[in-house]
Chains A and B, each alone.
Chain A
Amino acid sequence: MFVDKDSIIINGVNMGQYITEAKFSFNKLWSSDSGRNLAGTQSGTLIGIFPKLVLQFRKLTKTELERIVPILDSPRQTVSYYDPRKRDNETMQTYTGDYEITDKTIISGTKKNEGFSCSFIATKKRV
């Protein structure tokens, strides 16, 4: 949840100032033993819940983008977010998905890149 401007910190950078939207997914990963047993009852092992954060960035200046991109390109990130189940800020290690930057004009001075989104996916299950 985005409960205040400091809710999302990635690699020490407060993302609250750069985003227009944050989507929180809590995805279940099931083992291959999942299915129906002889009684027809669904059975199986839950490997865990892997949180995923999708951030919609606003239009960013050249300077702002240059600050964000190294984080997006790094192989691993440390993400702090407010978890509603834990009712507290949680920290997780993530990896990022692909992202695209669209420019409709030459970016200089106060001109900005178009907004874009990027996902941050937990490498370990939520404990």
Chain B
Amino acid sequence: MKTHTSAFKTAIKEYGRELDSIITYEHDTETIELGQEELNSLTPSYEGSILKSVMKQLIIDSNVEIPIDTEINFQFGVKVRDEDVEDYRDNYDYVSFGSYIVKETEMNEDTLSYTIKCYDKMLYSMKDYEALDITYPITIRNYINAVANKLGLTFKNANDTFPNYDKVINDELFLSRETNIVEEEGQEPREETTYTSLGYTYRDVLDQLAQVTASTICINEEDDELELRYINDTEDTIDEEYLKDTNVKFGDKYGKVNSIVLSRSGESDNIYLQNEESVETDGLCEIKIVDNQFMNFEDRSEYLPDILDQLDGLEYYINDFSSTGIVYYNLCDKYSVIRDNTTYDCIMFNDEILITQGLEENIHTNMPEDSETDYDKADKGEIKLNKALLLVNKQDNRIEALVQSVEAQEEGLGTLTNRVETNITSTEASINAIQNTLTNGVETLKNQLITIDAENGITVSTDQDVIKTIMNNYEFSIRNGETKLAYFGYDSEAGETKAEMDNLTVQEYFVTGYHRFEKFDVDNEQRTGVFYIGE
């Protein structure tokens, strides 16, 4: 919750409440304060959920223009006292909404006011991801700390333990990697690795880190630090006194969450971890995490226990209601609403506060998107059961297709490799790679019997066989080693087509030159004749 007084909580719902808003910022070494005279309206808002990063927004209608990139601070107050004071604000209690950065400003010609759009410091993450100043391997916690430092932020949880905080990242995940041998005169050849963008932003990376840490990543309102925020049970209850008499909906209950699924390869490769007792009692409620780069390798099942620990049992009511104004709840606060003698446990994920001459607050929590995992085809760990799957290795620009039997030591493998372009987004790279394979074929395909390569074309032969069949654009031949047992093709040395074999059996006839050799019967006598047929 935002820090607030009990007097604030009482006064905010009273008839005849009096409101105040303050925007402060520095401009040319001077502290500017905008109040009721300058501010026409303010609308702070955010849209969030678990397992993602959230950026808060503030839209101001002001008679005074604030320069772009200015850092402003916003406070909202309610009159709680009626004492004879010199400064009227001494009779008000305020809550802080934190700092915002001015991103856009537009003049309204009709009202001669300015519409100013601001965002909190999560705005700093809306830029292309670049290599961090770290060495691998590195823990998740230190990695997040490095990301925060790169954005000019302080990581609030730098010394805390949280889900998967100690898991290790072994190499760069969000840049394409190319290693070349560099040879310089007088020096030993050395490897040089260069990285190019895969189109990720730091915000994308934070979204994936939110999944790894089973949290919501946001900017803390009090100290502007990057925070891994978890559901905070405020134990606070509001009743119908805080609700408007229109647009009040409390619907289904979501949860209890009892299954976490990690999915990759076009959602064809799933592993999961469940609270099986809860699944039995309460029914399955899964959260599926798709294509997370941190949890994309052989160790991904190790991430599941911490995530399930954190989210197991999560439940809340879906809601959509307009309030006369609460204001002091924060993102991820759990609170209760009493309506018609029924208590609804809710979590604050989406909020919009309309501050004009009056106050209105619109709150809603949506049902998360349904995911359906075919658990018959999913695993509890990294054991592939007669699987065929595609793994997209974005960093090395490679797609690996694996077909592997359950007897893990058998190597009945077919592999294909192909190149992908390196200067496009990871999603485009995956799609283009598959399209490229479908359109242009592959350079090499091999299984137990057939090998396709650029040199010979199609070779049909097992590794144990001596006899093999070769087919390409100029020959079809059956060989014993290098000896041709049968050959049909074009002899480029002789410049002519040929058919060669040790034995040839013709059932009916064959033509050579101007003659035809053909079998026929005369008076039940079987004969073979040579007949002149001409041109």
Name A residues whose Cβ lies closer than 8 Å to a Cβ of B.
31-48, 86, 127
Contacts and interface: CB of A to CB of B under 8 A. Distances in A.
A110 to B, nearest CB: 48
Interface stretch (B69-77, B125-133, B150-158, B353-361): B353-361
Contact of B13 (A34, A43, A47): A43
A39 B324 contact: no
Given A33-B324, A33-B359, A41 B15 contact: yes
Contacts of A38: 240-241, 243-245, 248, 339
Contacts of B14: 43
B15 to A, nearest CB: 5
B375 interface: no
Contacts of B13: 37, 43
B14 to A, nearest CB: 7
Contacts, number: 66
B236 interface: no
A39 B15 contact: no
Contacts of A44: 15-17, 324, 358
B18 interface: yes
A60 to B, nearest CB: 37
B242 interface: yes
Contacts of B88: 127
Given A39-B240, A48-B18, 14 more contacts: A31-B356, A32-B356, A33-B324, A33-B325, A33-B359, A34-B15, A37-B245, A38-B243, A40-B245, A42-B15, A44-B324, A46-B17, A46-B18, A127-B88
B240 A43 contact: no
B260 interface: no
B245 A34 contact: no
B245 A36 contact: yes
B358 A41 contact: no
A27 to B, nearest CB: 14
Interface centre among B13, B14, B15, B16 (most CB of A within 10 A): B15
A98 B472 CA distance: 103
B443 interface: no
Contacts of B16: 44-46
A47 B325 CA distance: 15
Contacts of B15: 34, 41-44
Those 7 A-B pairs whose CB atoms lie nearest each other, nearest first: A31-B358, A33-B358, A39-B240, A38-B240, A38-B243, A45-B358, A31-B357
Contacts of A39: 239-241, 243
A27 B242 CA distance: 27
Contacts of B248: 38
Contacts of A42: 15
Interface in B3-26: 13-19
A45 B359 contact: yes
Given A33-B358, A38-B248, A45 B242 contact: no
A42 B13 CA distance: 10
Contact of A33 (B240, B242, B243, B360): B360
B293 to A, nearest CB: 46
A58 B444 CA distance: 109
A56 B306 CA distance: 80
